[in-house]
Structure 1
Amino acid sequence: MSVFTKPVFEGTVVFEDKELFKGQGAAKQWAQQVGVELGILVEVRKIGTGWALVGNVDGVETVWGIYGQRLKRISNSI
């Protein structure tokens, strides 16, 4: 099962209309899973009051948050 189809049952916060992880620890666990699936380094970044996942996909910085209890690309760069 892809990490992108798994439900995200973690605490979240909304910052600038983007749903982000509330805790750094939960974000790090999801970052590790995304990194393994995509074969890239994925880190967490504090954005406002929450945490997002950030990785370099095909040479482009990509940021993931949460939408509808699933991971979702929220921007190519924040």
Structure 2
Amino acid sequence: MTIFAMPVFDATVIYEGKELFKGRGGAGVWAEKLAKEIETPVTVEKIGTGWALCAHLDGADCRWGILGQRLKRLD
């Protein structure tokens, strides 16, 4: 099963209409899982009051947040 289908039970915050991880620790755990899935380094970045997952994928900078308890690409 891909991690994009796994529920994200970490606390979230809404910032500028985007649902993000509330804590850096929770985001870091999911960054590690995402890095394994997409086979590229993933970091966490503070966006307003929350944290997003960030990576350089397919020649573009990408960010992921949460939508409906699943990871969703924000860009």
Same fold (TM over 0.5): yes
**Is 1:67 aligned to 2:29, yes or no?**
no
Structure with bigger helix share is 2
RMSD: 0.4
Residues 25-66 of structure 1 deviation map (CA, whole Å, 9 limit, x = unaligned): 000000000001110000000000000000011110000000
Regions of 4+ moved over 4 Å: none
What is the letter of the counterpart of residue 20 of structure 2? L
How does the TM-score come out when normalised to structure 1? 0.95
Provide TM-score, normalisation by structure 2: 0.98
Q: Distance in 2 between matches of 1:25 and 1:48?
A: 16
The whole-number CA distance in structure 2 between the counterparts of 1:37 and 1:69 is 18
Aligned counterparts of 2:70 and 2:54: Cα–Cα separation in 1? 16
Which residue of structure 1 lines up, in the alignment, with residue 26 of structure 2?
26
Percentage of matched positions with identical amino acids: 53
Aligned residues: 75
1:17 is aligned to 17
